[in-house]
Amino acid sequence: MNVKQSPDQKIVPARRNPFAVEHVTKIPFRFEDGDWSSNLNRLSQLSYRAAIVGPKGSGKTTLLLDLEGRINRDTDFGAQLVVFSQDKDTHPKLLENALTASGDGKILLVDGFERLSVRKKFRLFRNTLRGSGLVVATHSPMRLPPFNLPTWIRTSTSELLLDYILSELQMASPDVRAAGKTAMSKHGGNIRNVLRELYDRHASLRFK
């Protein structure tokens, strides 16, 4: 996030901005239904092969991060998060590392699944059938073979979710909440983009 600065303008340093990524990623995922115990039990019943389905900026990545920590702390097999970015040149190496981890008995947690080519998706599915599990984040339900997975959690965005995040960041003043509500409408509910806008507004001292 880059904030333009005039010679006489003061800005809040990134490390002190409550909307910085390092602070936002520490906020735990909050389930709409059930708690970690009940939802992990359901994931276990699905043999740890499932999808997290939701629109952009609805908390899928946060859930994967929290899930990785829970599995590594509470199970014997462990988990490894793999993030496939828009840089397709990195995909081959990431995929190889992921399949190696799966072969070692780890549950693969995949973010950016939809950025993979069909061939790489097929290889990922085929090579994890004998592994401990595969959980992917995706925008749409995965109902069609060969890439079919049952939906474990559906993520969504709302003003209540934004209020929760602002409270966790201790930034729930009326002016911040009003700016967040406006940004929610502007960005179609994408919480990630809302927080980016709030970061820029806070950096340029536009909040009271």
Could you read off the pLDDT of 90-116 as tens digits, one per residue? 999 999 999 999 999 999 999 999 999
Q: Are residues 52 and 149 in the same domain?
A: yes
Provide, rounded to the nearest whole percent, the portion of the chain with pLDDT above 70. 93
64: confidence class by pLDDT, cuts 50, 70, 90: very high
Q: 196 and 110, same structural domain?
A: no
Tell me which residue range forms the domain holding 64.
36-154
User: 18 lies in a domain?
Assistant: no
**Residue 180: predicted pLDDT:** 95
The pLDDT value given to residue 130:
86
Residues in the chain: 208
104 part of a folded domain: yes
The reply to whether 115 and 89 lie within a common domain is yes
User: Averaged over 56-82, what is the pLDDT?
Assistant: 93
Average pLDDT over residues 143-147: 90
Asked if the structure places residue 61 within a domain, the reply is yes
Greater pLDDT, 2 or 94: 94
**10: confidence class by pLDDT, cuts 50, 70, 90:** low
Confidence at residue 205, expressed as pLDDT on a 0 to 100 scale: 73
Task: Count Cβ atoms within 10 A of the Cβ of residue 53 and give its class: 0-12 exposed, 13-18 middle, 19 or more buried.
Answer: buried
**Angle, CA 151 vertex, CA 88 and CA 155 arms, to 5°:** 75
Helix (H, G, I), strand (E, B) or coil at 16: helix
Beta bridge partners of 109: 81, 135
Query: What's the domain count of the chain?
Result: 2
66: three-class secondary structure by DSSP: helix
Distance, CA of 207 to CA of 169 (rounded, Å): 14
| Average pLDDT score, the chain | 91
Beta strands in the chain, from DSSP E residues, in sequence order = 49-53, 79-83, 107-111, 134-138, 151-154
Cα dihedral sign for 17, 183, 208, 28?
A: negative
pLDDT of residue 206: 66
pLDDT at residue 16, rounded to an integer: 85
CB atoms under 10 Å from CB of 86, counted, come to 7
What pLDDT was estimated at residue 1?
44
Q: What is the pLDDT of residue 100?
A: 95
Question: Cα(27)–Cα(30) distance, rounded to whole angstroms?
Answer: 9
Q: What is the pLDDT of residue 204?
A: 82
Residues 178 and 137 reside in one and the same domain: no
- What confidence tens digit (pLDDT) does each residue in 39-57 have? 999 999 999 999 999 999 9
Residue 178 has pLDDT above 90, yes or no: yes
- Asked if 136 and 193 sit in the same domain, the reply is no
